[in-house]
Structure 1
Amino acid sequence: MRDYGWELSTAVVLFHEAIARRLGLNAAEHKALGVIARSGPMPTGALAPELGVGITAVTGIVDRLERAGYVRRESDPADRRRKLLVADRSRVPDLGGIFADLGREMSAFMTKYDEREMAAIIDYIENTIRVLRVQTEKLADGS
């Protein structure tokens, strides 16, 4: 039997790598930019668990994003000693077209599934996400 999990994982990673390359970034930088843009201003330390990497790796990622002009570090108005990561909305490209096209194609083939089948698919996806997050934490912790 084919290893569908591996094939799906590879396809998702390659898709995000292609988006990242279009932005002049690598996949980790692209994911970090997405987290910062969606979350709004956030401390650097809050980004590490979102990416499943240590603070040293996050510092390098943020440095590269800052040099590329995608994010900037600003003083936290509540605590001037702390810096917040802020996405420069004028520089963050609108990837809506890419994701709209993906969404259209995904929606088109998903119409063939009935309610029971969709419930099973959603269950599979939710559990896959849960397992991947647990395994990512284990790997990040060195377990």
Structure 2
Amino acid sequence: MTDLSSPATERTLESALVEVMGMRLSTATILFHSAVAERLGLNATDMKCYTLLRQFGPLTAGELAERTGLTTGAITGVIDRLERAGLAQRKRDPDDRRCVVVELVHDPERERAIDQLYAPLGQAISQLVRDYTPAQRAAILDFITRATTILEQETRRLRQMDHASA
């Protein structure tokens, strides 16, 4: 039987986790979201902007650009595509009529259709989670939360490097 606490085994497990998280999971995630986007006539970037609007509510084009790292010109194209798809609309900011915000279009039928694209994945992940004990789930949640924070920090670091060299 293998000693899971040996230094060699710990290094092997660490390498495997880094590879799975850094390559395989991230690639599978991007490809999945691309497939969902294609079903809606969009691309993965458009869908992630849609997700940001679902997560944070109405945002200005500048805020979307800042959160995604895209130029304001590229964000204009994203917003145009989201509008054509019936997912978002531009509206005047009620607090500052000079400012335009992008908000989601409330369409329960469309939202249900989008949710149905994600439902099988959500069900499969829920089943997977049930395979673990509550203590293991807590450890997994902690790991994923902390890994997400690291990814967000590294994204900001890379974008700041871009601005520093410009």
1:4 alignment partner AA: V
Task: Note the residue ranges of structure 2 that are not aligned, 5 or more in a row.
Answer: 1-14
Question: Offset of 1:20 from its aligned partner?
Answer: 0.3
Partner of 1:123 in structure 2? Answer: 142
2:142 equivalent to 1:132: no
2:86 equivalent to 1:69: yes
Question: Offset of 1:92 from its aligned partner?
Answer: 4.5
The runs of at least 4 consecutive aligned structure 1 residues that moved more than 4 Å come to none
Which structure dedicates a bigger proportion of its chain to helix? 2
> How far apart, in 2, do the equivalents of 1:107 and 1:88 lie?
29
Question: Offset of 1:54 from its aligned partner?
Answer: 3.7
Partner of 1:99 in structure 2? Answer: 118
- Following superposition of structure 1 onto structure 2, how do residues 1-143 of structure 1 map, counting pairs within 5 Å? 2=16, 3-5=19-21, 6-90=23-107, 92-94=110-112, 95-141=114-160, 142=162
RCO higher in 1 or 2 (8 Å CA, sep ≥ 6)? 1
Range with greater deviation from structure 2 (85-94 or 99-108): 85-94
> How far apart, in 2, do the equivalents of 1:49 and 1:69 lie?
23
Question: Offset of 1:50 from its aligned partner?
Answer: 2.9
Q: Is the 8 A contact 1:54 1:140 kept in 2?
A: no
> How far apart, in 1, do the equivalents of 2:57 and 2:135 lie?
37
Question: Offset of 1:8 from its aligned partner?
Answer: 0.5
Q: TM-score, normalised by structure 2?
A: 0.74
Task: Note the residue ranges of structure 1 that are not aligned, 5 or more in a row.
Answer: none
> How far apart, in 1, do the equivalents of 2:84 and 2:31 lie?
24
Question: Offset of 1:27 from its aligned partner?
Answer: 0.4
Range with greater deviation from structure 2 (32-41 or 114-123): 32-41
Aligned length: 143
State the identity as a percent.
36
Q: Is the 8 A contact 2:86 2:105 kept in 1?
A: yes
Name the SS of the counterpart of 2:97 in structure 1: strand
Name the SS of the counterpart of 1:75 in structure 2: strand
